[in-house]
Structure 1
């Protein structure tokens, strides 16, 4: 697995999120400042709501930009098959029902990226899944309970 390509794809996904948030903020700002949206009475709050939305989008943009900077500055560590799982590891898991999942532990998570036809779930180290995986080794088992359902996974590859 080419982790540098995964990092590039994740940066591109963050760029797309930032651009979408910028567009939404621009639309909300235009709505808030449009002369046609002056309140007609005390119950007309369209402009006020748009201003709140523009402010929220601005905060979201700042957060996304900070995450992008953090990821761009992150040097991807070299992780060998016999290492324990840590930040920067790309892990292949097989569930009890033989479904396979690939997970990449990066400083910024919350995305799914496709590489060579494989869907890769990108998680940050503070997610429940990463917390279960960090410190484990090849052929270890990992169990995670989500929504009251326990899932057991066998670690079949680490890089």
Structure 2
């Protein structure tokens, strides 16, 4: 799997998300400032609620914008066994039920699932618990993760 293709797909998804959120910000701002939403008494909170929504949407838009910046500057490096798994690694994990899962370790803000043909690749940040557990590991290593008060063990099958 080509890491630059994965990066491009993440960038496209983030750009789509940003466009949708910016439209939602515009709609929420319009609702918050529309003359019909001016409060007539202290119990009339429609305009206030729309303003809160617009603020939240604007924060989400800024977070996506920052993720786009990080992902544009991101240069995935080839895997080095001497350094172990680092940012930019494509990792295949095996769980206790013999199920395989592919993980692409990227910068913040790109947490998503990508489907390319028959392959499913989970994009996570190195800040995510699994991302932190993977850092420095190598092929054949075991990763232990606490999920919902249950300990999950994963084996690193391969890294690219």
CA distance in 2, matches of 1:154, 1:46: 52
**Residue-by-residue CA offset, 1:10-38 (whole Å, 9 max, x unaligned):** 11111121112111111111111111112
Q: Runs of 5+ in structure 1 lacking a partner?
A: none
TM-score by length of 1: 0.93
SS of residue in 1 equivalent to 2:43: coil
Judging changes above 3 Å, is the alpha-carbon distance between structure 1 residues 127 and 9 closer, same or farther for their aligned structure 2 residues? same
Q: Secondary structure at the match of 1:77?
A: coil
* Structure 1, 93-102 or 53-62: larger mean CA deviation: 53-62
| Paired position in structure 2 for 1:34 | 34
* Pairwise CA RMSD: 1.5
Q: Using the alignment, how far apart are the partners of 1:116 and 1:80 within structure 2?
A: 27
In the alignment, does 2:145 pair up with 1:114? no
* TM-score with structure 2 setting the length: 0.93
CA distance in structure 1 between the partners assigned to 2:94 and 2:83 by the alignment: 19
Q: How does 1:49-68 map to 2 (within 5 A)?
A: 49-68=49-68
Instruction: Report the Cα distance in structure 2 between the residues aligned to 1:20 and 1:156, rounded to whole angstroms.
Output: 37
Alignment of 1:1-159 (within 5 A): 1-80=1-80, 84-108=84-108, 109-159=110-160
The question of whether the paired residues in 2 share the 8 Å contact of 1:82 and 1:138 is answered with no
Secondary structure of the structure 2 residue equivalent to 1:155 = strand
